[in-house]
Amino acid sequence: MAQNLQDALRNRRSHYSLSPASPISDEAIKDIIDFAVTHVPSAFNSQSTRIVLLLGENHRRLWDITKDTLRPLVPAKAFPATEAKIDGSFRNGHGTILFFEDRAIVEQLQAAYPLYADRFPTWAQHTSAMHQLAIWAMLEDAGLGVSLQHYNPLIDEAVNREWQLSPQWELIAQMPFGTSTAQSGEKTFTSLEERVKVFG
């Protein structure tokens, strides 16, 4: 589609009803991720974002891990609804993107620039957020339905163990995607006068 940036942001929505189909190839999905990781900015050019793309059985395994982690934590009466939400939405998609920040990079910057040491963890979150939005908008533009989930830190240890990731990689968010099978609702907006101030 290659919409302009404003259209891509305007049309971005959270999609929770997903099918495993994809209108683009897995290679094209990887290209979107590669583009974002290459071009999205980061504080001090830290390039601290790390991304894992899970497809097929690896994608489904993530959501099985999530259910197994939640099972002893969610009241027994409430768990069937939790399981149905995961199975009917996230697990049923085509894949999931995991967003991490590399704590080793953050710690190196803290040591190199002690004046800003307390800010680098926050700036790493900003970096991750920019990657999340860029990838979300590009996937949406490619015809995929996307949402952003946060089952971290509950699943962090199991995820790192399952895919043998560095313990320095901090899981920030999970982005399941697939072909949307339902329309998203209209977004509502609060007054811009309450959110934007101009002094000139």
One DSSP character per residue, 42-96 reads -GGG---EEEEEEEHHHHHHHHHHHHHHHTTTS-TTTHHHHHHHIIIIITTSSEE
What's at 187, amino acid-wise?
K
CB atoms within 10 A of CB 118: 9
- The pLDDT assigned to 170 comes to 98
Sites in the chain below the pLDDT cut of 70: 1-3
- The pLDDT assigned to 10 comes to 87
- The pLDDT assigned to 184 comes to 80
Contact at 8 Å (CB) between 52 and 97?
A: yes
Domains and CATH numbers, the chain: 5-194 (3.40.109.10)
- The pLDDT assigned to 183 comes to 84
d(C-alpha 84, C-alpha 97), whole Å? 21
What's at 197, amino acid-wise?
K
- The pLDDT assigned to 3 comes to 61
Q: What are the φ/ψ torsions at residue 85 (nearest 5 degrees)?
A: -65, -45
Q: What is the pTM of this model?
A: 0.95
d(C-alpha 97, C-alpha 132), whole Å? 9
Contact at 8 Å (CB) between 76 and 159?
A: no
CA angle, 152 then 155 then 161, to 5°: 130
d(C-alpha 37, C-alpha 26), whole Å? 17
